[in-house]
Amino acid sequence: DTGVSQDPRHKITKRGQNVTFRCDPISEHNRLYWYRQTLGQGPEFLTYFQNEAQLEKSRLLSDRFSAERPKGSFSTLEIQRTEQGDSAMYLCASSPWRDRGPSEQFFGPGTRLTVL
By the criterion CB under 8 A, which residues form the site for other proteins?
4, 6, 31, 33, 40-45, 48, 50, 55-56, 58, 89, 91, 93, 100-110, 112
Least distance in Å: CB of 22 to other proteins? Answer: 15
Q: Compute the least distance from the CB of residue 71 to other proteins, in Å.
A: 20
Do 97 and 51 form a contact (C-beta atoms < 8 A)?
no
Nearest to 99 by CA among 41, 38, 31, 33: 31
Q: Residue 37, class by beta-carbon neighbours within 10 Å (0-12 exposed, 13-18 middle, 19+ buried)? A: middle
Question: Of 71 and 100, which CB lies nearer to other proteins in the complex structure?
Answer: 100
Residue with smaller CB distance to other proteins, 82 or 95: 95
Q: Which is closer to other proteins, CB of 33 or CB of 65? A: 33
Could you tell me the CA-to-CA distances from 52 to 15, 18, 71 in Å, in that order? 30, 23, 6
CB of 64 to other proteins, least distance (A): 20
Q: By C-beta, is 10 or 81 nearer to other proteins?
A: 10
The CB-of-81 to other proteins minimum distance in angstroms stands at 26
| Cα-based torsion angle of the residue sequence 104, 56, 42, 84 in order, rounded to the nearest 10 degrees | 140
